[in-house]
C-alpha cells in the first residue's frame, strides 16, 4: 500500500484516541481525530477520509446517527469501534450503514488487518476489476491471458483462456460441454467434442503443474464445474 490513506477517528475517550492515532501512524496511515462533536459531518467533509472509525457512545447524538448522516453524502467505509457487544448494537451498526464492527478492547494487529483489508477491497482491487479475475487463489490476467497460482505462472492459449474464464464466471454451477464449445467458436467455425476434450486436458495439466490440482471438476455426462 504505497498511498497514504486518511483515517478519521470519532472517539470521545482522549486516551483511546491517542493510542489508536499512534498505532495508525506507526503503520503509515494519516490519522485525524475529532475535537468538536457538534458538527462531525462538517469535519468529515473537510478531511475527506478514506475510512472512518466511529464509536457509538459519543457526545451530541450517537454513532448510529452520524453514520446515517454520512451515508447520505458518502459511501466511504465506516468501521464501528465500541465496547458495546450486544447483537442489537451490531445489527444497528450494519443497518445504519456500517461496514464492520470492532469490539473494545481490541488487538491493534486485528484493527490494522481489518483496515488494510478494507483498503484493498475498496481502493486497490477495484482498480483491476476489469483486468484480473480471481478464484480459489488462482488469478487470471485478462489482458495477457497469463494465469498465476502461488509463485507459479503459465500462459494460456485463447481457447484455454475462454474455457477457464467461462467456468470461473459460473463458479459453483455446472457448465455443459455444449456451452463450452460455443465459447470456443471462432467466426462461426464449429469446435467439435474432441477439440474441447483436448483443450480441457491441456488446461488441467497446466493448472496441475502450477499446484492447482483438481481445480476443474468433471460432472460425468453433464459438463465441468469450478467449486
CATH number of 132-225: 3.90.1560.10, 4.10.910.10, 2.40.160.100, 1.10.10.10? 1.10.10.10
What burial letters (b/e) apply to 57-93, b meaning 16+ CB within 10 Å? ebeeebbbebbebbeeebebbbbbbbebeeeebbebb
* Sequence-separated (6 or more) residues with CB below 8 Å from residue 113: none
Q: Which run of H or of E encompasses 166?
A: helix 158-169
- Above 80 in pLDDT, residue 97? yes
Q: pLDDT band at 117, cuts 50/70/90?
A: confident
> Within 56-157, where are the H helices?
63-71, 87-96, 108-119
* Sequence-separated (6 or more) residues with CB below 8 Å from residue 67: 54, 78, 80, 93, 96, 97, 98
What's the alpha-carbon Rg for the chain, to the nearest Å? 24
Predicted local distance difference test score (pLDDT) of residue 188: 43
Class of domain 6-128: alpha beta
Q: pLDDT band at 221, cuts 50/70/90?
A: confident
Q: What angle do CA 105, 39, 28 make, to 5 degrees?
A: 50
Per the prediction, the chain carries an average pLDDT of 88
Q: Where does CATH 1.10.10.10 sit in the chain?
A: 132-225
Average pLDDT over residues 195-201: 90
CA 24 to chain centre: 21
Average pLDDT over residues 96-121: 88
Q: Where does CATH 3.40.50.2300 sit in the chain?
A: 6-128
| pTM tops 0.75 | no
Amino acid at each position: 500500500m504505497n498511498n497514504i490513506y486518511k483515517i478519521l477517528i470519532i472517539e470521545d475517550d482522549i486516551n483511546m484516541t491517542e493510542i489508536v492515532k499512534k498505532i495508525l501512524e506507526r503503520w503509515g496511515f494519516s490519522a485525524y481525530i475529532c475535537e468538536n462533536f457538534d458538527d462531525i459531518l462538517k469535519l468529515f467533509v473537510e478531511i475527506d477520509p478514506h475510512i472512518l472509525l466511529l464509536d457509538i457512545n459519543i457526545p451530541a447524538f450517537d454513532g448510529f446517527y452520524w453514520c446515517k448522516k454520512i451515508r447520505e453524502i458518502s459511501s466511504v467505509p465506516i468501521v464501528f469501534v465500541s465496547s458495546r457487544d450486544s447483537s442489537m448494537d451490531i445489527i444497528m451498526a450494519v443497518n445504519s450503514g456500517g461496514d464492520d464492527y470492532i469490539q473494545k478492547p481490541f488487538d491493534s494487529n486485528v484493527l490494522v488487518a481489518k483496515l488494510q483489508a478494507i483498503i484493498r477491497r475498496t481502493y486497490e482491487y477495484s482498480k483491476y476489476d476489469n483486468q484480473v479475475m480471481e478464484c480459489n487463489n488462482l488469478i487470471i490476467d485478462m489482458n495477457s491471458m497469463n494465469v498465476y497460482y502461488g509463485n507459479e505462472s503459465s500462459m494460456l492459449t485463447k481457447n484455454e483462456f475462454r474455457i477457464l474464464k467461462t467456468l470461473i464466471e459460473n463458479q459453483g454451477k455446472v457448465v455443459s460441454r455444449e456451452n463450452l464449445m460455443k465459447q470456443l467458436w471462432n467466426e462461426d467455425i464449429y469446435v467439435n467434442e474432441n477439440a474441447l476434450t483436448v483443450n480441457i486436458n491441456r488446461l488441467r495439466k497446466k493448472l496441475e503443474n502450477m499446484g492447482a490440482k483438481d481445480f476443474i471438476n468433471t460432472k460425468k455426462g453433464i459438463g465441468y464445474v469450478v467449486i
